[in-house]
Homo-oligomer: A and B are copies of this chain.
Amino acid sequence: MTNDTLDTAHGWLTADELEVVRDQVPMVYVEAVPVRVDHLGRITKVGLLLRAQADGRVSRAVVSGRVLFGETLRDALWRHLNKDLGPDADPKLPAAAAPFTVAEYFPEAGRGAFHDPRQHAVALGYLVPCDGECAPSQESLDLAWLSPQEVVDPSIADEMSSGHGRLVRRALAFAGQLP
């Protein structure tokens, strides 16, 4: 999960304040799996952001970010999709009120399916078709569109950060397209 610097740049919480609150309550996150779909709604490609990690390794991730105080989930989704995929991505937010899955990130490694050393986060997952031109933000090295077959390949799955591979597999299963 990413995008905290920009959030705090909104002036809503300083890095120190965020540090404190992160030890006190679970954080609310939204996570979006960007996809290309055909005219029948079937996923043809899954979009993955390529990022340089602190340790020099490269990792692949879906769109993910914190929900700010006072912000609706839909506004947060829109903000993070625009920031990560650019202003022309044309994301189609789903009409459903519920996410297709929920991922629970805990700071302790090995406790459950998702891990985030910084915090306890409850992340609501959405599948978001994007019709437009997608351009990765400056935080990302690249944005790659992979087929459902490719995205579940172990060589790709191994490069996914923080359980995002698991999230993508759940998204494909939800769409009836897990190979």
Instruction: Report A's interface with B, CB cutoff 8 A.
Output: 12-13, 17, 21, 23-28, 35, 37, 39-43, 67-75, 77-78, 92-104, 106, 112-113, 120, 122, 124-125, 127, 129, 166, 169-170, 172-178
Contacts and interface: CB of A to CB of B under 8 A. Distances in A.
Contacts of A72: 40, 104, 112
Contact of A95 (B13, B26, B35, B99): B35
Contacts of A43: 95
10 contacts: A13-B25, A41-B93, A67-B122, A72-B104, A96-B100, A97-B176, A102-B176, A103-B176, A169-B178, A170-B173
A154 to B, nearest CB: 13
Given A24-B69, A97-B174, 19 more contacts: A21-B21, A26-B67, A26-B68, A28-B28, A40-B72, A40-B75, A40-B78, A41-B74, A42-B74, A73-B104, A92-B92, A96-B127, A96-B174, A98-B100, A99-B102, A102-B176, A166-B178, A173-B173, A173-B174
